[in-house]
Amino acid sequence: EKVYGEGEVQVRAVRGVDLEVRRGEVVLIMGPSGSGKTTLLAMLGAMLRPTSGRVFVDGTDLTALPESRLPDFRARRFGFVFQDFNLLSALSALENVEFALNLAGVSGRTARERAERLLRGFGLGERLGFRPEKLSGGEKQRVAIARALANEPAVILADEPTANLDSRIGREVARLLRRAASEEGRSVVIVSHDTRLKDIADRVLWLEDGEFRAMSEMATDPVCGMAVEREGAPHYRHDGETHFFCSAQCREEFVAAPSRFLQRARRPA
Ligand code: ADP
Ligand code: MG
């Protein structure tokens, strides 16, 4: 549970969430803006202390560790991937990954070689010496994922990792996260409202007002692609199927030309 502030300005951002993630599993947590996704992820990654409750990674209770142990624990056990990449702008692609290794106590040639191998594996062999400003969004996110994987962490935590990427690059990023789970046994937790990420998830959870709700009550708006709660949502029956919308505007657009949106939904990924 996480409560920000006190009294009148108090926000209960996460309320009584219970979640267990296995090795090799990709869990996607979806939910509208402000539902507590980033707060939950920050608590899972020891970047934010819960107001109450505990977080265990491989049997270690993060919430019981003294503040002084957290940076080292984070560096070794977690890989973070953010919406805006969070690369260090003064460092090259190679140095960004190396730096993450240095933080976990791996240095010198070992760090350099491991960083280089990872980046080459991600098709960035020609970009090793480039600073982030010289890289495309997709390249930056691949560097960020290489950095997240560098220390062979138990857990990868990704906050809206595809939000700033076009759909082709978004799929590539999703594939790399899937591989980290399937081939390397990492536990991957992604928070996002990008419905395309459902394809790579073993489980999809829906967070709303800081609590998990059953995903079966959710549908995807065929117009804007947003996940919407079926109950109370504007809907429209077409061709024997009921479609749900985030707003009256999306419903109107759909009703005017259903085939426009249904074709798009059916187009192969
Ligand atoms: P999401 O990532 O799903 O958009 P957040 O976890 O960022 O949601 O926010 C959940 C709620 O907590 C929101 O109401 C937000 O305004 C509030 N919140 C987030 N961070 C803080 C903070 N540092 N101080 C006070 N309120 C916050
Ligand atoms: Mg967020």
Q: How far is the CA of 34 from the centre of ligand 2 (A)?
A: 7
Residue 125 CB less than 6 A away from ligand 1: no
Which residue(s) pair with 187 in the sheet? 155
User: Token pair for residue 139?
Assistant: 């390249």
Looking at ligand 1, which residue's alpha carbon is closest to its atom 23? Answer: 4
Residue 192 CB less than 6 A away from ligand 1: no
Whole-angstrom distance, CA of residue 191 vs CA of residue 195: 11
Residue 11 CB less than 6 A away from ligand 1: yes
Q: How far is the CA of 30 from the centre of ligand 1 (A)?
A: 15
3-state secondary structure string across 47-102: CCCCCCCCCEECCEEHHHCCHHHHHHHHHHHEEEEECCCCCCCCCCHHHHHHHHHH
| 254 touches 263 (CB < 8 A) | no
At residue 5, the pLDDT reads 94
Q: How far is the CA of 37 from the centre of ligand 1 (A)?
A: 8
At residue 269, the pLDDT reads 43
Q: How far is the CA of 109 from the centre of ligand 1 (A)?
A: 41
Whole-angstrom distance, CA of residue 184 vs CA of residue 148: 13
Q: How far is the CA of 13 from the centre of ligand 2 (A)?
A: 11
Residue 263 CB less than 6 A away from ligand 1: no
At residue 265, the pLDDT reads 52
Residue 156: enclosing H or E segment and its boundaries?
strand 155-159
At residue 147, the pLDDT reads 97
Residue 33 CB less than 6 A away from ligand 1: yes
At residue 167, the pLDDT reads 87
* Distance, first Cα to last Cα, the chain: 37
At residue 231, the pLDDT reads 80
Give the pLDDT of the chain (269 residues) as one tens digit per residue.
999 999 999 999 999 999 999 999 999 999 988 999 999 999 999 999 999 999 999 999 999 999 999 999 999 999 999 999 999 999 999 999 999 999 999 999 999 999 999 999 999 999 999 999 999 999 999 999 999 999 999 999 999 999 988 888 999 999 999 999 999 999 999 999 888 898 899 999 999 999 998 776 778 899 988 888 888 899 999 988 899 999 999 999 999 999 999 865 554 44
Looking at ligand 1, which residue's alpha carbon is closest to its atom 7? Answer: 38
User: Which residues, 6+ apart, have CB-to-CB distance to 238 below 8 Å?
Assistant: 254, 258, 262
Alpha helices in the chain (DSSP H): 37-44, 70-77, 93-103, 108-121, 137-149, 167-182, 248-256, 258-266
Of the candidates 190, 151, 150, 154, the residue with the CA atom closest to the CA atom of residue 173: 190
At residue 32, the pLDDT reads 86
Residue 39 CB less than 6 A away from ligand 1: yes
Of the candidates 100, 197, 113, 107, the residue with the CA atom closest to the CA atom of residue 146: 100
Q: Which ligand sits nearest to residue 37's alpha carbon?
A: 1
Residue 3: enclosing H or E segment and its boundaries?
strand 2-4
At residue 226, the pLDDT reads 84
At residue 142, the pLDDT reads 95
CA 261, distance to chain mean position in Å, is 27
